[in-house]
Amino acid sequence: MILHCGARSLDLRIPRVMGVMNLTPDSFSDGGRLWREGRPQLDLILRRAERMQADGADILDLGGESTRPGALPVSPQEECDRVLPAVEAIAARLDTVISIDTSTPELIAAAASAGAGLINDVRALQRPGAIEAAASTGLPVCLMHMQGEPGTMQKAPAYQDVCADVQAFLLDRVEACVSAGIPRERVLLDPGFGFGKTLQHNLDLFRGLGAMVALGYPVLIGVSRKSMIGRLLGRDTRERLAGGLALATLAVHAGVSVVRTHDVRATRDVLAMVAAIRKE
């Protein structure tokens, strides 16, 4: 499948790497290094983007609103102020697909005009006006499942059947997108590991990735450095690379199209090895 991302395209018959760039002052991973003194650090952002591209990132995912457990929302203006200068700077410098990790209609529309090629929404375009804004851009969208909101999502999440419930939600959102004018071939799905899910939910959901892939839409996963790895292995955030790479390998074997990661170079190596063995 060829995914058309504005002026650029991605061949999703080959698993792709999405590099994470958090433009927030309270990032659990980046520690706010790309946002200081009330403004984006564009020199640092460009260096990070260039390094990620050199390391093998096919997509750069820029986010200006933290979605870690317990995170509070930010205003649309603040989110735009964090993200748009970075989009413009990267689009002017690098030949890469820029993804916008946002639920905010104003940023969806403005980022598309600034050079973004993909909309990655943890709320699956459920904010008022978001689905209309996304449809107006003509860009592909990634719909993620989340139970609740970041501030409350880890307070006793419950499902009848986590795999069936997540799939039903995402398929319902696909139909909403189609009704709004977003073609099916521009939709990706993300099961939303860690977003309103216990450790057991995450493990069950991971075991069911093959069934999600079988729905016929490209699947994106984000498990890099997440708490599910820490709880299983007893590792803090900076010591979760091995666990994340194991999950990336299993995900690609299950047919996942995009792996979202903080550790681009190592993840690219894993995907290249899997691809070489599959080719043989």
pLDDT of residue 149: 73
Give domain limits for the chain.
2-279
pLDDT of residue 66: 79
Catalytic position from the list 197, 226, 240, 268:
226
pLDDT of residue 148: 73
Alpha-carbon gap, residue 14 to 26, rounded angstroms: 33
Q: Indicate if 93 belongs to the active site.
A: no
pLDDT of residue 67: 75
Q: Are residues 212 and 219 in contact, defined by beta-carbon separation less than 8 angstroms? A: yes
Q: Indicate if 197 belongs to the active site.
A: no
Give the side-chain half-sphere CA count within 13 A for 215.
26
Whose tokens are 């006793």? That residue is: 156
pLDDT of residue 151: 65
Residue ranges for the chain with pLDDT beneath 50: none
Alpha-carbon gap, residue 240 to 90, rounded angstroms: 28
Q: Are residues 225 and 240 in contact, defined by beta-carbon separation less than 8 angstroms? A: yes
**Residues sharing a CB contact under 8 Å with residue 167, sequence separation 6 or more, in sequence order:** 211, 212, 215
Q: pLDDT by residue (tens digit) across 183-200?
A: 999 999 999 999 999 999
Give the side-chain half-sphere CA count within 13 A for 241.
11
pTM assigned to the model: 0.93
pLDDT of residue 29: 57
Outline where the chain has alpha helix (H). Answer: 42-55, 76-93, 105-114, 130-137, 162-180, 199-207, 209-213, 227-233, 241-253, 264-279
pLDDT of residue 35: 62
Any idea which fold 2-279 has?
TIM Barrel (3.20.20)
Catalytic position from the list 82, 123, 173, 260:
260
